């Protein structure tokens, strides 16, 4: 017996044709700011597991960028 996990974005999901008779369907809840930060830190810790200090710094850098509010947009 085989088990599969298939993930998809919401856009186009209905057209994909995954029958409810064959697949169990779930919808994940949205992340809040805490969840996003936790995901970022854990993702970097896994991806850069050979250098955890770099993983921590990269996660912190990304969180800082995400916290920056855009106040001006210039088109040239």
Output the pLDDT for position 59.
94
pLDDT at 20: 82
Give dist(CA 4, CA 75) in Å, integer: 46
pLDDT tens for the chain, residues 1 to 76: 788 777 777 787 778 878 888 888 888 888 888 998 999 999 999 999 999 999 999 999 998 888 876 666 666 6
Q: The tokens 């919401």 sit on which residue?
A: 10
Which pLDDT does position 8 carry in this prediction? 78
Integer Cα distance of 27 and 30 in angstroms: 9
Contacts of 40 (CB under 8 A, 6+ apart): 59, 62, 63
Determine contact, residues 49/55, Cβ cutoff 8 Å. yes
């Amino acid at each position: 017996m085989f088990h599969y996990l298939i993930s998809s974005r919401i856009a186009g999901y209905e057209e994909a044709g995954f029958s409810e008779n064959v697949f169990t369907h779930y919808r994940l809840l949205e992340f809040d700011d805490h969840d996003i930060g936790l995901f970022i830190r854990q993702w970097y810790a896994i991806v850069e597991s050979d250098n955890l200090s770099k993983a921590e710094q990269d996660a912190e850098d990304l969180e800082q960028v995400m916290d920056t509010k855009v106040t001006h947009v210039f088109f040239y």
